[in-house]
Amino acid sequence: MIRRGTDVSGGFTLRTDVCVIGSGAGGGVATGILAELGREVVVLEEGPAVGRADFNQQEGDMYPLLYRDGGNQTTVDGGISVVQGRAVGGSTVVNMADVVPIPREIAEHWRDHHGLTRHSISRILEVGESCARALGSNAIPEPSLNRNNALLLEGGRQLGLDGGAFDHNRVGCVGAGACMIGCAFDAKRSVALTWIPDAVATGQVLVQADARVASLEWSGDRVVAAVGHVIDQANQRPLGAFRVEADRFVLAAGAIHSPLLLQASGLGGSQVGRNLVLQPQAPVAATFADPVVAFRGVPQASYLDSEEVKSAQTGLGGYRIEGIFATPAMTAATWGVHGAYVHEVMTKYAHTAGCLCLVPDEPAGSVTRLDNGRPKIETTYDAAWTRTLMTAIRTAARVYLAAGAEQVMLPFAGATPVRSEADLDQLERFRVAPNRLPLISAHPQGTCRMGPDPATSVVGLDGRVHGLANLQVLDASVFPTSSSSHTMIPTMTMAWLGAAEAI
Amino acid sequence: MLGAAYVSAQLFGHRPLATVDSPLLGSAGRTTLQAACEALLPDTADAAWAAGAVDDFLAQGDPIQGEALRLALSVLEHWPGGLRLSRFSRLSPQERREVLTAWGQSPIGPKRQIAVAVTKTVLFTHYARPESWSGIGYPGPMVSG
């Protein structure tokens, strides 16, 4: 069953086989696999239990309801928005539904350079395919692309750049365009509509929403209980206390909050919170004479990946450009570095096309727990990464010019509209630094790195925290480096493999 | 106190805004926020409503977020510099716009951070409001497939 905080506002105590913390791509799949194996599972989810009736497509209501910090979570310098869902189903409720498994080359990179040898490459790829299938993955037919995504491909092809349309986990999409604030039509087959209800149907699973875990109690090499408070979603304040005892614990709170919980509990050693990958993305937009109507249709559906590097030697690198669009408030806020000029941009909202330049970064960031219990998210802006980002921004602008844009808007504060390739010379006077341009991370990874050596990693090859017999981390935290350009299926893959371990 | 505000306004420009109390931002924070709304939003927008909506938004979140914005607004209100002799909320809307633009492009990281945080908050609130949509050609959510 799925239980709300209001059902147990005075608190509760439970005893179960397995306690799963988090119900997103990692926790949802782990719960499903464990239930299949006959285990009794209690899932603790900090966010609310919500569904299509709650998704009113109003940004002012949905961001506070469905996102960490109402969508305002950032790195400590404010330079990168770190957007994460917070609901039963986690980020799969609010993501762009892109199905991109761990590429073979990345699995080989992890095997050869990070010691991830427990599963064969073919097994990893096979589980990735199974995860995609379970979500109803299907290809977006290119003829069905909205004009925003079609323009990206058209301009890219003019420049000789390769690309295509995503596979996605929407079934029966009506093109409302509000994927980021919950699908009011249940077309996006999130974990909340697939793995969670299937697991609950076994009768062995209790999903407790509105339950914020504060710490893990442990003794010797075993975790004995997860403790915390039921919270009031109206103001995030704590209500009654809870305690869940279990034989096995699965931590799947995401790459920001899984390490935070380990740190709060004094677990995991010195590597916890290190090696954060954010995969920051920068927007480029363009206006066209004819309407683009990018706010309808599948918002993120096409990509240009000629310059993406997938290498068994070096991992994921280069860059890719992806067509994307958002509802008005998020669009305006994203371009906030332009100040009051944003209104001029917004008057052309219906004629605007947009994309994000995704540049995988090295695992050089960190998450640490502040005294107030919140995460301090830090990263670096290393020279090679910023050079690649500038190249990607220039390419995206050229793509739009080739597609016939009237003008292109660069992301940098103080940039002037680009109407010809010569106008791109202004890029020379900008530099990438916090709050000089919008940067968005929707794929935080890597803060509880998997590996054989406790000196350089947090969890072993079966997902168990080094030195602990019954605590696994099964989410995007465990990736040694960038897993893919989209993390939903990679996270599910690791959760599937880890949950199937006999522990 | 009121006399001092009046004299200050006469000497340094714009009249002080009416004080509205706010549970998270305090009356001073709310005044600065409304001043930022006036500077950043189109003339036709209701700045007082927008400032109130930010309050409502903050009330649904972690109180620490409200405290962070209150602090940012306080720095914006009082930071001296350049030719600016008056508090932010007592500048004209045009002058406030210029301050926010200058901060947004400042070499000083915290100034950029404050300008961007305040601007994003105000813009989000404005464009989340259905009344703003007709001006940008957005028909609103699709209500049926």
Q: What is the mean pLDDT of each run of 10 residues along chain A (503 residues)?
A: 97 98 98 98 98 96 95 96 98 97 98 98 98 97 94 98 97 96 97 98 98 98 98 93 98 98 97 97 98 97 97 97 96 92 93 98 96 95 96 98 98 96 97 96 97 98 98 98 96 98 93
Domain A2-97+180-272+446-478, CATH class in plain words? alpha beta
Tally of CA atoms within 13 A in the half-sphere of A360 that contains its CB: 26
Whether A245 and A227 have beta carbons less than 8 Å apart is answered as no
Q: Is B3's pLDDT higher than 50?
A: no
Task: Give the whole-angstrom CA distance, residue B88 versus residue B111.
Answer: 14
Q: Is residue A186 within 8 angstroms of chain B, CB to CB?
A: no
Q: In the numeric block, which tokens belong to residue A425? A: 């010379």
In angstroms, the CA A302 to CA A336 distance is 25
Name the H helices within A248-377.
254-265, 328-334, 342-346
Distance CA A85, CA A72 (A): 11
Question: What are residue B68's DSSP bridge partners?
Answer: none
Domain with CATH 3.50.50.60 in chain A: 2-97+180-272+446-478
User: Which one of B64, B71, B100, B123 makes the best mutation probe of the A interface by having the most chain A beta carbons within 10 Å?
Assistant: B123
pLDDT in tens, A376-418: 999 999 999 999 999 999 999 999 999 999 999 999 999 999 9
Q: What is the pLDDT of residue B64?
A: 87
* Nearest-angstrom CA–CA distance, A154 and A55: 34
Burial of A230 (0-12, 13-18, 19+ CB in 10 A): buried
pLDDT band at B145 (very low <50, low <70, confident <90, very high): low
* A235: closest CA of chain B, how far (Å): 4
Percent of chain B with pLDDT over 70: 81
pLDDT band with cut points at 50, 70 and 90 for residue B110: very high
Neighbours of A296 (CB within 10 A): 19
Exposed e or buried b per residue across A373-387, where buried means at least 16 C-beta atoms within 10 angstroms of its C-beta = ebbebbbebeeebbe
Closest CA to A47 of A76, A27, A74, A17: A27
| A370 near B CB under 8 A | no
The CATH 3.30.410 domain(s) of chain A lie at 140-168+281-360+382-432
Residue A366: beta bridge partners? A274, A378
Rounded to 5°, the CA angle A180-A184-A187 comes to 85
Q: How many angstroms away from the CA of A82 is the closest CA of chain B?
A: 14
Inspect the interface and report whether the beta carbons of B138 and A295 lie closer than 8 Å: yes
Alpha carbons A431 and A433: distance in angstroms, whole number: 6
Contact between residue B61 and residue A236 where contact means Cβ atoms under 8 Å apart: yes
Distance (Å, whole) CA A122 – CA B140:
46
Nearest residue on chain A to B119, alpha-carbon basis: A336
8 A C-beta contact, residue B55 and residue B23 = yes
Q: Facing residues of A311 across strands?
A: A315
Pairing of strands A2-3, A222-232: unpaired
What is residue B57's predicted lDDT score, i.e. its pLDDT?
82
3-class SS of residue A425: helix
Report the SS3 class of residue A142.
helix
Cα B106 from Cα B88, distance rounded (Å):
17
Euclidean distance between the first and the last CA atom of chain B, given in angstroms as a whole number: 59
Phi-psi region at B50: left, alpha or beta (left = phi > 0; alpha = psi -120 to 50)? alpha
Local structure of A302: helix, strand or coil? strand
Cα-Cα end-to-end distance for chain A = 25
Asked if A244 contacts A331 with a C-beta cutoff of 8 angstroms, the reply is no
Question: By CB neighbour count within 10 A (0-12 exposed, 13-18 middle, 19+ buried), where does A103 fall?
Answer: buried
Cβ-defined contact of B142 to A414 (cutoff 8 Å): no
Of A130 and B43, the one with more pLDDT: A130
Per-window interface: A 243-262 vs B, CB < 8 A: none
Residue B22's pLDDT is 73
Overall fold of domain A140-168+281-360+382-432: Cholesterol Oxidase; domain 2 (3.30.410)
Residues A378, A365 contacting (CB under 8 angstroms):
yes
- Write down the ipTM of this complex: 0.94
